[in-house]
Chain A
Amino acid sequence: MVMFKAAFVREWRLLARQKADWLNPLMFFLIVLTLFPLGIGAKPNLLAEIAPGIIWIAALLSVLLGAERLFKDDFRQGVLEQLVAAEQPLLAYVLAKIVSSWCSTALPLLLMSPLIALLLGLDSAAWLAVLLTLLLGTPLLNLLAALGAALTLSADKGGILLALLILPLYIPLLIFASAAVDQASLGLDYSGQLAVLSAMLCLALALVPLAVLKALKLNVG
């Protein structure tokens, strides 16, 4: 717990001093979403229809964009090898990294969701669905992105490899999340999709941090 707090505080200090690390993915998300209405033209109905897919694809790409930095500096500067060699509480460190990456990349997306709903012409029922799926889905995005970042740590051009590795894993999430928003905009019940998302999140919460831990050890050793 002490280590979790220390690693979390450390991560926030780093984020506060390297603003590009979390601002760039956010800007990217906003710009992608702004481009769609411009590119498609004045067809509000079409826009509202494809909005769930657009929001989710933009969200997962922006999380992915912020993922590569997660362990990179600590790996390059030797922090990780010191933590691994001296058996310091690595799991707490990994959890702190994941939680702080969610707070810095995904939480702002949730806060921006009303704006996005306005931009893409979604009604309030669909917006609520967007909010709920983002709430359940983004932690999953961050968990898997952390796994990808840990696996590709020692790869030289890790960014593309990370995307190739992790994007296929996002497919189920994308399917259920956009289906939920679709249902909501038709006025149908979407609790089933939310339940599936919750189940995926629970599974990932239990397993992914351990996999990240193992991947970090492999890359350092």
Chain B
Amino acid sequence: MFEAVNLELTAGQLLQIGGKNGAGKSSLLRILAGLGQPDDGEVLWQNLPLTESDFPQNLCFIGHLSGIQPQLTALEHLEFWQAAFGLAPTDGYQVLATLGLAGLEDIPCQLLSAGQQRRVSLARLWLTNRPLWILDEPFTALDQSAILLLQQKFTEHLASGGAIILTTHQPLTQQFPAAQLLELAYRW
């Protein structure tokens, strides 16, 4: 699909993958997340191939599928993710209130709007303590306030030594001057 992709990411860095629709952004993310195999070349985590390293335990992956079950409530999603990440139960109401979902904790997610569902999906970032985040179009369907909130969360995460790889069409260079940008382009 693509060739000559060469990149390196260290702690505290943000990598933005750009490119037109269909350029292969999501496919590249899946390969980076270990969900797909490259035809050629390799992905290393701390100088070890993904399969031989403890990479999966360091990853929080949110792909273009939200992972939201329409029949479950926001709070029930949080409960499940906490168990999945092996975290001690924290106050789900607090996290959801931060995300502007106060009052909507006990409503099945199918009744929430697309943007609100996206917020529930992103709540994982407030729960997890994993250093590497791989996010596919995290800003989709979010309103301006949620985008700002998410960017603040990114800043905090980077400041605490985390790393982020994401795809988005949103320009990020203003908030994150140090961000690396990888532009995927067609080559016929």
Which residues of chain B (21-57) have a CB below 8 Å from chain A? 33-37, 56-57
B163 on interface, CB distance cutoff 8 Å: no
Given A13-B71, A18-B71: A81 touches B83 (CB 8 Å cut-off):
no
Task: Please tell me which stretch of B5-13, B58-66, B173-181 contacts chain A, meaning at least 4 of its Cβ atoms lie within 8 angstroms of it.
Answer: B58-66
B32 to chain A: closest CB distance in Å?
A: 10
Q: Mark A74-99, 1 if CB is under 8 A from B, else 0.
A: 10111101111111110001000000
Task: Please give, as numbers and ranges, the residues of chain A lying within 8 Å of B79 by CB-CB distance.
Answer: 6, 9-10
* Cα distance, A77 to B109, chains bound together (Å): 13
Contact A221 B65 (CB under 8 A): no
> Could you tell me how many residues of chain A have their Cβ less than 8 Å away from some Cβ of chain B?
29
Q: Can you name the residue of chain B whose Cβ is closest to the Cβ of A74?
A: B69
* Cα distance, A18 to B70, chains bound together (Å): 11
Task: Please give, as numbers and ranges, the residues of chain A lying within 8 Å of B36 by CB-CB distance.
Answer: 221
Q: Choose among B34, B84, B134 the residue that contacts A83 (Cβ–Cβ < 8 A).
A: B84
B185 on interface, CB distance cutoff 8 Å: no
A179 to chain B: closest CB distance in Å?
A: 42
Contact A10 B108 (CB under 8 A): no
A96 to chain B: closest CB distance in Å?
A: 10
B171 on interface, CB distance cutoff 8 Å: no
Contact A85 B56 (CB under 8 A): yes
Q: Helix, strand, loop or mixed for chain A's interface?
A: helix
> Could you tell me how many residues of chain B have their Cβ less than 8 Å away from some Cβ of chain A?
31
Task: Please give, as numbers and ranges, the residues of chain B lying within 8 Å of A84 by CB-CB distance.
Answer: 35
Task: Please give, as numbers and ranges, the residues of chain B lying within 8 Å of A74 by CB-CB distance.
Answer: 69
Task: Please give, as numbers and ranges, the residues of chain B lying within 8 Å of A89 by CB-CB distance.
Answer: 84, 86
Q: Choose among A3, A7, A78, A93 the residue that contacts B63 (Cβ–Cβ < 8 A).
A: A78
A123 on interface, CB distance cutoff 8 Å: no
* Cα distance, A73 to B33, chains bound together (Å): 22
Task: Please give, as numbers and ranges, the residues of chain B lying within 8 Å of A6 by CB-CB distance.
Answer: 79-80, 82-84
Given A13-B72, A14-B69: A86 touches B83 (CB 8 Å cut-off):
no
* Cα distance, A79 to B63, chains bound together (Å): 10
Task: Please give, as numbers and ranges, the residues of chain B lying within 8 Å of A160 by CB-CB distance.
Answer: none
Task: Please give, as numbers and ranges, the residues of chain A lying within 8 Å of B71 by CB-CB distance.
Answer: 13-14, 17-18
Which residues of chain B (136-163) have a CB below 8 Å from chain A? none
B115 on interface, CB distance cutoff 8 Å: no
* Cα distance, A81 to B64, chains bound together (Å): 11
A2 on interface, CB distance cutoff 8 Å: yes
| 9 residue pairs, one from A and one from B, having the closest CB atoms | A78-B65, A87-B56, A6-B83, A85-B61, A88-B84, A17-B71, A78-B67, A85-B33, A79-B67
- 15 extra interchain contacts, Cβ-Cβ under 8 A, other than A87-B57, A87-B59? A2-B86, A3-B84, A6-B82, A10-B69, A10-B76, A14-B71, A14-B72, A76-B65, A77-B66, A79-B69, A81-B61, A83-B84, A85-B34, A93-B84, A221-B36
What are 11 inter-chain pairs, A to B, with CB distance below 8 A? A6-B84, A10-B76, A14-B69, A17-B108, A77-B69, A79-B67, A79-B69, A81-B63, A82-B67, A85-B35, A86-B59
